[in-house]
Structure 1
Amino acid sequence: MWKSYTLALSLALSAPSLMAAPLAPEITTSQIQPAFAALAQRADSLAHRTTTHCLSDPAQMTQAYHDAFDAWIAASHWRFGPTETNTRGFSLAFWPDNRGKTPNAVRALLAKATPETLKPANFADQSVAAKGFYALDFLLFDVDLQGKVPSQNRCDLAQAITHDIARIAAILNTEWQHEFASLMTAPSARYATAAEATQELFKALTTGLQLNDDLRLGRPLGTFDRPRPKRAEAYRSERSLRHLMVSLENLHLLALALAVEAPEVRSTLDRQFYRVISRAARLDDPTLAGVSDPQKRLRIEAVKQGIQDLRSTVATQLGPHLGVSAGFNSLDGD
């Protein structure tokens, strides 16, 4: 069983309101920096265990994979600043993959990669489709691949992928602990005012909720007549529901921190998050395969509706309180 990666709800969410003091410093130190520190530590452990245990004790590598992937999902809504630079976010997480580029890229590397290709300096230049957690997910858990590719070949590529994940995670952590944190916590060329930094955090919340609504649930739900269970995120490793849960739990923390000076809004958001997370936990459907079953589908749709209710509260109550709006994000064009 995977170790749960969620920050405890007892974290101190005591940042003062925007009118009294900026919200960004508290959220940066209590949520963002710990998330990227955990990602770096778990990614490093994944790379180490892949090198030492891929052939001899693959269960240890698999556990490290789940731990590191949990850490990425917990940090993944912070898709600005260091994560945007040099396609780092996509290099860790190329998803959704609408055209099957990741399976094609992984198969191509397995067929013709050389030791030189897999060296860290060279592998860093590979396509984002061949790198990151989703490439590793396909490599480790695709049943057809397991039956056709020798374990040694798969392990060689797994080592290249995990060392690249660790490299990127270490860069993200370093930049968040130092340079970019200072940009978030004091007026800077990036964020001239506290309101601009708050808007960035608010956008992280709205985009994270939208991703869960439109992609994590919307893609596998498809339509009633044509559900698409194989579009569920990381279904091969049975992580689809897990990703939804980890994301919602961490967005819950962010929402409470942003609403700290609006008690009624905070109470509403807390109640709505608790309801939707509880509903998701009761699904007991790791791959969201229930989208193809009429009764189970209704329960998944109820979770989706709960997320839409959250999005409405955030847009109509939290945003006006903060004096910000989400603006455009990359999902809006999908």
Structure 2
Amino acid sequence: MLRSSVSNFIRPQTKAFALRTAELSKAMYVLCETGDLRGAQEAFASAASAYGRIEFLRVGPLMEANRAERILFFPDRKGIGLRQIQQLLAEKDLAATTVPGLQGKSVALQGLGALEFVLFGAGFETIATSDGAFRCAYGAAIAKNLEQMASEIAASWADPEGIAKRLAQPDAAYADYRTSTESLEAVVGLVSHGIENIRDTRINPVIANADRKANPKQALFWRSGLTMAMLDANVEGLRALVELSSVVTDPALLAEITSAFDRAETAIGAVTLQIDQALADPEQAGALVDLVGATQDLQRLIGEDLSATLGLSVGFSSLDGD
């Protein structure tokens, strides 16, 4: 099942992210040359969804060189990253129009969040005009930076002597995966913590509760209208790893996990409006609450029940600082 996780999900999906970011980089070049904004926006959506399917793979190459934060700096609840992006656009710092220059700046300026603002945020309409030349050049540098990081991630997982081998064929001589139990704990932990991340950073801060009103501007990618598409990609990736890895061998438990994933996907599919409108609609806001419930069930089923079935101990998530 460990080899299946790598060959059936991790390698093809990291390669897909690399391909989508290469297309995004090309689309940004075309935008700056010809003004094709729609093509760049569509390429952004495809690249973002491709990342959404793998962003829970918080081991190895994604966690090296601070790539996870550089690819997607989120959440930004205090708006620090947003202010940095706005300041950079106002000052037109030419260093940010080259990949090396951009890589020397704040992580908040380097990835998908910054590029979303470039393509969909205040002033985006000017990007295909002479007044938007800096904005477009900055966006093109972000896309190239994303392409480089995605290529590095895919190459690392493709390396026959790299992390894929250590995860799929653990050995006592390795520093990270010494036994099959440690490898299984890593895989199951990635899924459990990925589900936790969906709930705690993507949904709960946005929906209303007893203490506060709904806050649509805390949603990821609200400007581009891709909030739900990203959640759909997250759940799709998590489900695919569980199913393609064949890690769940107990039929009854598999049926429960399948049902919980079905409920999560049904809830996501029920939200058809933009996130601000969905939160104001009782039925669609209720679907988001249902999604929280489905993620709670999934985390229990995978983080607790599956772990117990396999004799594993799934530790704290990276969100907890462990």
TM-score by length of 2: 0.90
Between 175-184 and 101-110, report the one with greater CA deviation: 101-110
**CA–CA distance in 1 between the matches of 2:138 and 2:195?**
33
Separation of aligned partners in 1, 2:306 and 2:107: 35
Aligned sequence identity (%): 24
The answer as to 2:300 corresponding to 1:287 is: no
CA distance in 1, matches of 2:218, 2:93: 32
Q: Which stretch of the first structure deviates more once superposed, 218-227 or 289-298?
A: 289-298
- In the alignment, residue 235 of structure 1 is paired with which amino acid? W
Secondary structure at 1:75 match in 2: coil
Q: Does 2:133 correspond to 1:133?
A: no
Counterpart check, 1:36 vs 2:14 = yes
Once residues 240 and 117 of structure 1 are traced to their aligned partners in structure 2, the CA distance between those partners, rounded to angstroms, is 27
CA distance in 1 between partners of 2:227 and 2:132 (Å): 26
Letter in structure 2 aligned against 1:75? I
1:251-309 CA-to-partner distances (Å, cap 9, x unmatched) read 11222335342222112111221122122202213425422344432222122112111
What is residue 49 of structure 1 aligned with on the other side? 27
**CA-CA distance at 1:73 after TM superposition:** 0.5
Aligned to 1:112: 91
* Amino acid of the structure 2 residue aligned with 1:74: R
Matches within 5 A, 1:1-334: 23-54=1-32, 55-142=34-121, 144-146=122-124, 150-178=131-159, 179-186=162-169, 187=171, 188-224=174-210, 225-256=212-243, 257-287=245-275, 289-332=277-320
How far apart are 1:114 and its partner, in Å? 4.1
C-alpha separation in 2, matches of 1:43 and 1:200:
27
Secondary structure at the aligned position of 2:204 is classed as helix
Following the alignment from structure 1 to structure 2, what is the Cα–Cα distance between the partners of residues 297 and 57?
35
The aligned length equals 311
Q: Structure 1 residues 286, 325: closer, same or farther in 2, change over 3 A?
A: farther
Amino acid in structure 2 at the alignment position of 1:185: A
Change in 2 beyond 3 A, CA 1:300/1:289:
same
Rounded to whole Å, the distance in 2 between the matches of 1:250 and 1:116 is 35
Conserved? CA contact 1:202–1:258, under 8 Å: no
Q: 1:266 to 1:195 in 2, by over 3 A?
A: same
Aligned 8 A contact 1:232 1:288 in 2: no
Name the aligned partner's letter for residue 205 of structure 2. Answer: R
Structure 2 residue runs without a partner (length 5+) = none
Rounded Cα–Cα distance in structure 2 between residues aligned with 1:266 and 1:304: 20
SS in 2 for 1:126: coil
Structure 1 window deviating more from structure 2 (318-327 vs 115-124): it is 115-124
Q: Distance in 1 between matches of 2:123 and 2:152?
A: 31
Cα distance per residue 1:15-66 (max 9 Å; x no partner)? xxxxxxxx22110111001111011111111111111234421111111111
Q: CA RMSD in A?
A: 1.9
Unaligned runs of 5+ in 1: 1-22
- Return 176-185 or 144-153, whichever deviates more: 144-153
- Residue 251 of structure 2 aligns with an amino acid whose one-letter code is P
2-structure distance, mates of 1:120, 1:287: 33
SS at the partner of 1:72? helix
- Residue 310 of structure 1: how far off its partner (Å): 1.5
